[in-house]
């Protein structure tokens, strides 16, 4: 962790956004970074409007407590397992990261993603196995929850150069449009 125990704590609004919903907590910690280093797949919300809407009806926990509410305890356990692995935090603190990830689901494809410091996609190229390449951006998506936890060591091996991403972007046609 990057903070000393003597540093005073502040109250942070924390969200685990899983796409169509999310789990929220108030966490007392020394910094937003400490929250991100301690819990996997969360973001610290600093929008005054969101903080006002959150009110006081959320679980409130201290980051140093041994027991956490359901959901948050699993996210801490997940982060603890990641911490000692090579690549942990390698992508954190970057304003933009470029990644390539294979998806072998119902419609296999390779995804080229440009991701911001909050783990949300800025731009994306979907390259299907038949060679069709479609590019998209937030205007094309119904919602844009974080898809990348930049502390997770699994993402570090998927990083590509900005030039490789740009080449894929230029070759792709716009979703719903002509190339």
Domain range list for the chain: 10-83, 96-174
Tokens of 93: 């603190």
User: What pLDDT digit, counting tens, does each position of 100-109 carry?
Assistant: 999 998 989 9
- pLDDT tier for residue 176 given thresholds of 50, 70 and 90: confident
User: What pLDDT digit, counting tens, does each position of 139-168 carry?
Assistant: 999 888 889 999 999 999 999 999 999 999
3-state SS string for the chain: CCCCCCCCCEEEEEEEECCCCEEEEEEEECCHHHHHHHCCCCEEECCHHHHHHHCCCCCEEECCCCCCCCCHHHHHHHHHHHHCCCCCCCCCCCCEEEEEEEECCCCCEEEEEEEECCCCEEEEEEEECCCCEEEECHHHCCCCCCCCCCCCHHHHCCECCHHHHHHHHHHCEECCCCC
Point out the least confidently predicted range of 37-41, 124-128, 141-145, 159-163: 141-145
Statement: residue 1 has pLDDT above 60: no
Statement: residue 6 has pLDDT above 80: no
User: What pLDDT digit, counting tens, does each position of 42-96 carry?
Assistant: 999 999 988 888 877 888 999 999 999 999 999 999 999 999 999 999 999 999 9
Strands 96-103 and 60-62: what pairing?
Answer: unpaired
Statement: residue 14 has pLDDT above 90: yes
Does pTM surpass 0.75? yes
**For the chain, what is the mean pLDDT?**
92
């Amino acid at each position: 962790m990057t903070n000393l125990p003597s540093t005073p704590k502040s109250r942070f609004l924390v969200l685990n956004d899983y796409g169509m919903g999310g789990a929220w907590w108030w966490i007392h910690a020394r910094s937003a970074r400490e929250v991100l280093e301690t819990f996997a797949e969360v973001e610290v919300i600093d929008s005054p409007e969101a903080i006002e809407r959150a009110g006081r009806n959320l679980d409130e926990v201290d980051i140093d407590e041994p027991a956490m509410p359901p959901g948050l305890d699993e996210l801490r356990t997940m982060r603890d397992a990641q911490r000692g692995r090579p690549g942990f935090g390698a992508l954190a603190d970057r304003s933009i990261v470029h990644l390539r990830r294979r998806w072998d689901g119902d419609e296999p494809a390779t995804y080229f993603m440009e991701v911001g410091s909050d783990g949300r996609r800025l731009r994306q190229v979907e390259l299907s196995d038949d060679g069709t390449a479609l590019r998209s951006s937030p205007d094309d998506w119904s919602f844009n929850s974080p898809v990348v936890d930049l502390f997770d060591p699994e993402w570090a091996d998927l990083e590509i150069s900005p030039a490789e991403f740009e080449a894929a972007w230029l070759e792709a046609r716009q979703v719903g449009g002509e190339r």
